[in-house]
Amino acid sequence: MSAQIIKEKVEQAKQFLQEFDVDCWITFARESQINGDPMLAFLTPAGITWHSAFMINKDRSTHVIVGRYDVPALDEMGVYDKVEGFVTGIKEKFIEYMKKKNPSKIAINYSKGSEICDGLTYGMFLTLYEMLAEIGMEDRLVSAERLVSAIRERKTPAEISNMKEAIRITEEIWDATYKWLKPGIKSIEVADFMKAEAAKRNVGLAWEPSVCPAVFAGLGEGEAHYAPGEKPVTRGEILNMDFGVRYNNYVSDMQRTFYVLKEDETEAPEDVQHGFNIIVKAVQDAKDSIQPGKEACEVDAVARQVVVDGGFEEFPHALGHQLGIFSHDGTALLGPKWEKYAEKPYQKLEENMVFTIEPRCTVPNRGIATIEEMIVITKDGAEWLTTPQKELFLIK
């Protein structure tokens, strides 16, 4: 992560400690290449090796204790008030610092319902707990879920700028792919073409290369999170793809739907066009319903009703997820009140959150119609980040 974004996120953290009435937030980790806390990306430009503690306080002071060799990379950023190194162990310096600050409420990175806030491993928790118990502070620990969620979810101008560039590049690749596509090409060939286009532009893929892009030609292949295979792009079927790129650590995530014309067709048949139109309406109505302060599940309900009213079964997943340095990155979820989503659908929407909107429906004997757009929440609604697909792409 760039020093500029780390600086922005640390400044946000200082504000949020006051907003959520927390005295001290500690990110405690080790050997981050193996099992790093998700929040480290916003705190350090490189991995850390030994036991490391990043402390940000309600009084806006900051202090970092890391192994000796990890000091220079952190110190030269000029983000933290003090970066302190150790050789034999962290305990003495950590206890000395905590006694000096004496915080009443200490937030640490654990959560039952949000993976982005659950970076403290159990072993590291025990280590931290035992050190704090020596000075009578073990009963001051609370979950940092609300704080961590806010840091990741409320995007800064630099973060938004990176995501916009990732989207611009992705839309270029969509255009190139549309011009190249033709009947008979295999799903895996489509995926290889799109990966090559990303490589030409010197950007990475937004998620695992085996399923980025995911390509679904008609029916008979996986519905999502599925590696492209040997099935050809066939006339009379729907083709859809899920794809995104990574630019300066930030990602895009978009889906587009195509119809492969039969030789005697000049436009999509009525059933295919109807399915596509329903998805366009579901995306637009969901976007129009967004307001800061609204529960995320309320937006999902809008799109879900459009799909059902259009004569299709409701889609078996959430309407949309947040994005950032990962394609799924945030606690709040535009989703239904299902067990697997825990408390995520009940979270309130906030300005500068970035979401996808991605309903889908299955057109019998044709394939899956789906669009995935990206929006950013504003003070009075939402704005498109992507250029929304309004017309069905036809392949001759």
- Which stretches within 102-238 are classed as H helix? 122-133, 145-153, 157-180, 187-200
Nearest-angstrom CA–CA distance, 77 and 74: 6
Q: Which backbone phi and psi does 358 adopt, to 5 degrees?
A: -150, 70
Please report which confidence band the pLDDT of residue 42 belongs to, taking 50, 70 and 90 as the band edges. very high
Percentage of the chain exceeding pLDDT 90: 95
Computed over every residue of the chain, the mean pLDDT equals: 96
3-state helix, strand, coil in the chain (%, to 5): 40, 20, 40
* pLDDT above 70: residue 220: no
State the Rg of the chain over Cα: 23
pLDDT of 221 > 70? The answer is no
pTM exceeds 0.75 for this model = yes
Question: What kind of architecture, by CATH, is found in domain 157-395?
Answer: Alpha-Beta Complex (3.90)
User: Strand, coil or helix: what is 333?
Assistant: coil
> Do 322 and 358 form a contact (C-beta atoms < 8 A)?
no
Q: Is 145 exposed, middle or buried (0-12, 13-18, 19+ CB in 10 A)?
A: buried
* 3-state class (DSSP) for residue 2: coil
* Gap between the Cα atoms of 358 and 334, Å rounded: 10
Going by C-alpha positions, the residue among 89, 189, 171 that lies closest to residue 130 is 89
Tokens of 106: 């200490």
Q: Taking a C-beta distance cutoff of 8 angstroms, is the pair 86, 93 a contact?
A: yes
pLDDT 10s digits, 251-267 = 999 999 999 999 999 99
- Section 213-239 average pLDDT: 83
Question: pLDDT tens digits, residue range 151-196?
Answer: 999 999 999 999 999 999 999 999 999 999 999 999 999 999 999 9
> What is the SS3 assignment for 101?
helix
Given its phi and psi angles, is residue 209 left (phi above 0), alpha (psi -120 to 50 degrees) or beta? alpha
pLDDT at position 229 is 84
Each residue's pLDDT tens digit, 277-326: 999 999 999 999 999 999 999 999 999 999 999 999 999 999 999 999 99
Closest CA to 151 of 243, 69, 56: 56
Q: What is the pLDDT of residue 351?
A: 97
d(CA 382, CA 356): 12
338, amino acid identity: W
Quickly state the pLDDT bin for 222 (edges 50, 70, 90).
low
Residue 71, classed as helix, strand or coil, is helix
**Quick check: helix, strand or coil at residue 243?**
strand
- Residue 214 φ/ψ, nearest 5 degrees: -90, 135
Write down the domain spans for the chain.
3-152, 157-395
For residue 230, is pLDDT > 90?
Answer: no
Strands 245-247 and 250-251: antiparallel
- pLDDT at position 218: 81
Rounded average pLDDT over 146-150? 97
Cβ-Cβ contacts under 8 Å for 277 (sequence gap 6 or more): none
CATH of domain 3-152: 3.40.350.10
Euclidean distance between CA atoms 335 and 146, whole angstroms: 19
- Nearest CA among 70, 28, 32, 73 for reference residue 53: 28
pLDDT band for position 1 (cuts 50, 70, 90): confident
